[in-house]
């Protein structure tokens, strides 16, 4: 099976039904297939060779899906820029990936600068914006469904950039086989059972379709569901959108679910119809999982993965959430069980450790990226791929029932007074203090301790928990070497462009607060 098969079979089966829509328009399954094929052919017609990298700067829109599929059909390598991070980051990604073409929405802030600086072919979404060829022109050209041989499974379909160790982003390579592995695991383990029945399924892409939300594009095409793509939705906009589009499925990062929990139950009731609320990308405090289960929907699914090993590698199913909420609370601290295709080993110094012991998660199987772009010339990429296995940098253990528990990232581990402390454990203890909403714990340099543990936290709506209370409570909940030396209440934890808690920014903030207090 290939991505082309998914697109064409969906067009054959569901032809005139709406496949995707955004605030400006819709595409049926037939239109989507025709336009993606025409676009792929049009790009070749412009002289873009198979295997070329194509940088894409588009918000959540029908065009983002068309372009994604067209690049896959035509054998091009998609390099998506996150519209939220701005020109400085984009330039670094463009510098490393050296694309042959750019597909740009000129309405994205900063897009004009990017276009002005490039010597590559530029295709714009807005035909009136410039003399560059427009996406519309290419997408309405001749659609040759048979003339394009499917790219080989191990050929690349994308580079996924994340920040490197020296500030130059690193591009994890993603193959067609990686993406198809994700499709199968999403269908069988994350969406399992939620697409059955006569009622139409509607997926709301509320987060960036270039990241975790995009993993649902192929499964929903395959199942004939409708996908709604919306941009810049705040928490209130998200509730309105779920109601307006009768969405049945969505996937969010935990920080967005935390914001939803600020609404009262009456306002949250529109989410009751969700058949699946998936979350991933960062740990979610257990108290938030419980509240989400009771106040939003019991149909929660968690999965785990990363750009270097396409999600889902593990899944905590809706049934697991149910068992966790009614009694087995340990389950809610876990990221679930490994999907059958993902070989996850917990290892220390390369050797497997017994169940229950903490080690680094090492992954093999069809989800794992072959490596980083430019790995031959860059010296700042580290050695995460060894003999086809990915050393994830995530620490954790497998319990006796096979559930994987993450304890943190190896680079976030705090060493204080000679002890290793996993921030995750301290964060779990502090977030369980009544009135605390969210918390991040980091190690700051300390002359005596090497590093000292400090925390920034937010109070739940209507609560006002003092730093002294957090420190006093920590004394009853944690052994002394794991207790924070300072706890600062803040209005919001700093988050990255993808909505994850930003530990580097949190350390800078906590350092500044400590200096101001001394
Ligand atoms: P990224 O490569 O940007 O998608 O980030 C991947 C990292 O996010 C993983 O290596 C984990 O550290 C973290 N992560 C992903 N999913 C989860 C999850 N369900 N729970 C906790 N951390 C997660």
Domain CATH for 92? 3.40.50.980
Q: What is the pLDDT of residues 428-448, one digit of tens each?
A: 999 999 999 999 999 999 988
In this prediction, residues 220-239 reach a mean pLDDT of 95
333 domain residue, yes or no? no
DSSP-assigned letter for residue 263: S
The pLDDT confidence band at residue 128, using thresholds 50, 70 and 90, is confident
Structural domain of residue 79, as residue ranges?
29-151
Q: Is a pLDDT exceeding 60 seen at residue 2?
A: yes
480 domain residue, yes or no? yes
Q: Is a pLDDT exceeding 90 seen at residue 66?
A: yes
Q: Tokens for 169, please give them.
A: 């982003």
Q: What is the pLDDT of residues 175-185, one digit of tens each?
A: 999 999 999 99
Helix (H, G, I), strand (E, B) or coil at 108: coil
CA dist., res. 391 & res. 400, Å (int): 22
Q: Torsions phi, psi of 280, nearest 5? A: -170, 175
In this prediction, residues 193-200 reach a mean pLDDT of 85
Helical pair 3-14 and 62-74, crossing angle rounded to 10 deg: 130
Is residue 137 packed enough to be buried (19+ CB in 10 Å), middle (13-18) or exposed (0-12)?
middle
Dihedral sign, CA of 263, 269, 274, 275?
A: positive
The pLDDT confidence band at residue 166, using thresholds 50, 70 and 90, is low
Among residues 432, 444, 431, 426, the alpha carbon closest in space to that of 482 is found at: 426
239 domain residue, yes or no? no
Q: Please, are residues 331 and 320 in contact by the beta-carbon 8 Å criterion?
A: yes
179 domain residue, yes or no? no
Q: Tokens for 252, please give them.
A: 């969010």
Q: Is a pLDDT exceeding 90 seen at residue 225?
A: yes
CA dist., res. 334 & res. 47, Å (int): 49
113 domain residue, yes or no? yes
Share of residues in the chain with pLDDT > 90 (%): 80
* Domain-terminating residue out of 108, 133, 151: 151
Q: Tokens for 214, please give them.
A: 């995009």
CA dist., res. 440 & res. 46, Å (int): 49
Distance 136 CA to ligand 1 centre (A): 36
Distance 427 CA to ligand 1 centre (A): 16
The pLDDT confidence band at residue 130, using thresholds 50, 70 and 90, is low
Q: Is a pLDDT exceeding 80 seen at residue 167?
A: no
Atom of ligand 1 nearest to the CA of 409: 12
305 domain residue, yes or no? no
Atom of ligand 1 nearest to the CA of 393: 10
Residue 164: predicted pLDDT: 60
Q: How many domains does the chain have?
A: 2
Distance 135 CA to ligand 1 centre (A): 34
Residue 349: predicted pLDDT: 85
In this prediction, residues 73-98 reach a mean pLDDT of 93
Q: Which residue has the higher pLDDT, 84 or 433?
A: 433
* Domain-terminating residue out of 151, 173, 190: 151
Distance 281 CA to ligand 1 centre (A): 4
Residue 341: predicted pLDDT: 95
What residue's CA is closest to ligand 1, atom 6?
Answer: 306
Element (H, E) at 304: strand 300-306
169 domain residue, yes or no? no
Contacts (Cβ under 8 Å, ≥6 apart) of 44: 50, 74
CA dist., res. 255 & res. 495, Å (int): 8
Atom of ligand 1 nearest to the CA of 498: 3
Q: What is the CATH number of the domain that holds 504?
A: 3.30.300.30
- For 350, other C-beta atoms within 10 Å of its C-beta total 12
Pocket of ligand 1 (CB under 6 A): 162, 280-283, 302, 304, 306-307, 335, 392, 394, 406, 409
């Amino acid at each position: 099976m290939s991505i082309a098969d998914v697109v064409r079979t969906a067009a054959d089966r569901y032809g005139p039904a709406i496949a995707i829509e955004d605030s400006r328009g819709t595409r049926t399954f037939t239109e989507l297939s025709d336009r993606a094929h025409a676009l792929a052919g049009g790009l070749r017609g412009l002289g873009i060779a198979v295997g070329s990298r194509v940088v894409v700067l588009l918000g959540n829109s029908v065009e983002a899906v068309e372009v994604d599929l067209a690049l896959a059909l035509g054998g091009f390598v998609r390099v998506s820029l996150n519209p939220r991070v701005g020109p400085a980051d984009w330039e670094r990604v463009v510098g490393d990936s050296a694309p042959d073409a750019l597909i740009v929405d000129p309405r994205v802030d900063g897009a004009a600068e990017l276009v002005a600086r490039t010597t590559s072919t530029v295709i714009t979404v807005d035909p009136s914006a410039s003399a560059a060829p427009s996406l519309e022109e290419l997408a309405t050209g001749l659609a040759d469904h048979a003339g394009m041989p499917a790219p080989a499974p191990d050929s690349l379909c994308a580079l996924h950039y994340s920040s490197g160790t020296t500030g130059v982003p690193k591009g994890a390579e993603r193959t067609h086989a990686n993406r198809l592995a994700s499709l199968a695991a999403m269908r069988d383990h994350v969406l399992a059972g939620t697409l059955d029945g006569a009622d139409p399924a509607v997926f709301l892409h509320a987060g960036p379709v270039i990241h975790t939300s995009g993993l649902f594009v192929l499964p929903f095409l395959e199942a004939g569901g409708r996908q709604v793509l919306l941009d810049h939705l705040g928490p209130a906009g998200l509730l309105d959108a779920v109601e307006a589009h009768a969405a049945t499925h969505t996937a969010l990062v935990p920080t967005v679910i935390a914001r939803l929990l600020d609404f009262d139950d009456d306002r949250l009731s529109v989410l009751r119809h969700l058949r699946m609320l998936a979350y991933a990308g960062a740990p979610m405090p257990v108290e938030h999982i419980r509240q989400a289960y009771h106040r939003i929907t019991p149909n929660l699914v968690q999965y785990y993965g990363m750009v270097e090993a396409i999600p889902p590698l593990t899944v905590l199913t809706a049934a697991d959430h149910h068992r966790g909420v009614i009694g087995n609370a340990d389950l809610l601290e876990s990221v679930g069980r490994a999907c059958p295709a993902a070989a996850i080993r917990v290892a220390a110094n390369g050797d497997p450790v017994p169940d229950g012991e903490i080690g680094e998660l090492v992954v093999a199987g069809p989800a794992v990226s072959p490596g980083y772009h430019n790995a031959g010339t860059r010296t700042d990429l580290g050695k995460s791929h060894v003999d086809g296995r990915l050393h994830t940098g995530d620490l954790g253990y497998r319990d006796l029932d096979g559930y994987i528990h993450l304890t943190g990232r190896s680079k976030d581990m705090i060493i204080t007074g000679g002890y290793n402390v996993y921030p995750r454990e301290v964060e779990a203890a502090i977030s369980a203090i009544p009135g605390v909403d969210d918390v991040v714990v980091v190690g700051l340099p300390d002359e005596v301790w090497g590093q000292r543990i400090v925390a920034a936290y937010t109070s739940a709506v209507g609560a006002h928990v003092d730093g002294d209370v957090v420190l006093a409570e920590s004394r009853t909940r944690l052994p002394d070497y794991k207790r924070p030396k300072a706890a600062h209440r803040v209005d919001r934890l700093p988050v990255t462009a993808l909505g994850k808690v930003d530990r580097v920014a949190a350390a800078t903030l906590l350092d500044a607060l400590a200096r101001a207090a001394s």
